[in-house]
Amino acid sequence: MNVTDPAWPGYMWQPWGERRHAYRGGRRPDGENVVAFCGTPLTTTSYPGDNPPEWQWPECSACAETVSEIADRRALVERRRRHEIEDLHAYGGQPLTRHTRRA
Ligand SMILES: [Zn+2]
């Protein structure tokens, strides 16, 4: 698993087996088999209601650790992106695509 990939697609939490696990990617329809970050296979399930008890289950610690790494990594990537844009303006630069289109 490569959490250093800037294109990391995110994660979803999924209550399963009295723990809240997380899996890679966006929300999926119910009934899909996925593997949580900790390696637990689970089936995507939504729980009805505003505050279903399943969402009170404790977090899986391995999944929580991976999710926090993703959050840290995303913050870092976002900071870098902002700095790159600021640098570009500071030097009067323009994106390369503008130059290539002029010809
Ligand atoms: Zn887990």
- Give the Å distance between the CA of 17 and the centre of ligand 1: 10
Say what percent of the chain tops pLDDT 90: 50
State the pLDDT at residue 2: 47
The pTM assigned to this predicted structure is 0.70
Ion ligand 1 neighbours, Cβ < 5 Å: 21, 36, 38, 60, 63
pLDDT digits (tens, 9 = 90+) for 53-103: 999 999 999 999 999 998 888 888 888 888 887 777 776 665 555 555 555
Buried-state track 2-29, b at ≥16 Cβ within 10 A, e below 16: eeeeeebeebbbbbbeebbbbbbeeeee
- 3 has a pLDDT exceeding 60: no
State the pLDDT at residue 26: 87
| Extended strands (E) in 1-103 | 11-16, 19-24, 33-35, 41-43
